[in-house]
Amino acid sequence: MQDSLFGDTPQPDQTLCEGAVVLGGYARRLDPVIGGLLEALAQDAPFRQMETPGGRKMSVAMTNCGGSGWVSDRAGYRYEGRDPLTGRPWPEMPAPLRDLARDSATQAGFTGFDPDACLINQYLPGARLSLHQDKDEADFSQPIVSVSLGLSAVFLFGGLSRADPVRKIGLEHSDVVVWGGPSRLRYHGISPVKEGDHALLGRRRINLTFRRVL
Note the residues at the interface with Fe ion (CB under 5 A). 134
**Contact with ligand MD3 (CB under 6 A) among 127, 129, 151, 176:** 129
Q: Which range touches ligand MD3 (CB under 6 A), out of 37-45, 51-59, 83-91, 175-183?
A: 175-183
CA nearest 119: which of 45, 69, 51?
Answer: 69
When asked if residue 188 is in the footprint of ligand MD3 (CB under 6 A), the reply is yes
Stretch that binds ligand MD3, among 29-37, 84-92, 109-117, 186-194 (CB under 6 A): 186-194
| Contact criterion met (CB below 8 Å) for 57 and 51 | yes
List the x/- string, 13-52, binding to ligand MD3 by CB under 6 A: ----------------------------------------
Q: Single out the residue of 102, 173, 186, 212 in contact with ligand MD3 (rule: CB under 6 A).
A: 186
Please tell me the distance from the alpha carbon of residue 52 to that of residue 164, in angstroms, as a whole number: 24
Of 64, 68, 104, 121, the one binding ligand MD3 (CB under 6 A) is 121
* Phi/psi at 208 (5° precision): -105, 130
Q: Where are the alpha helices (DSSP H) in the chain?
A: 31-44, 95-107
End-to-end CA distance of the chain: 40
In sequence order, the β-bridge partners of residue 95 are none
Q: Distance between CA 185 and CA 86 in Å, rounded?
A: 32
Residue closer to ligand MD3, measured from CB, 105 or 190: 190
Residue from 79, 113, 179, 210 binding ligand MD3 (CB under 6 A): 179
Based on the shown chain and the rule CB under 6 A, indicate whether residue 119 belongs to the binding site for ligand MD3. yes
Query: Considering the complex, what minimum distance in angstroms separates the CB of residue 188 from Fe ion?
Result: 6
Cα separation, 80 vs 132, in Å, equals 20
Among the residue ranges 7-15, 73-81, 184-192, 196-204, the one whose residues contact ligand MD3 (CB under 6 A): 184-192
Which letter, b or e, does each residue of 119-130 get, where b requires 16 or more Cβ atoms within 10 Å of its Cβ? bbbbbbeebbbe
DSSP string, 64-110: EEES-EEEEETTEEEEESB-TTTSSBPPPPPHHHHHHHHHHHHHTT-
Q: Residue 207: which of ligand MD3, Fe ion, none does it interact with, CB under 5 to 8 A by kind?
A: ligand MD3
Query: Which residues sit at the interface with ligand MD3, rule CB under 6 A?
Result: 119, 121, 129, 134, 144, 146, 177, 179, 183-184, 186, 188, 190, 207, 209
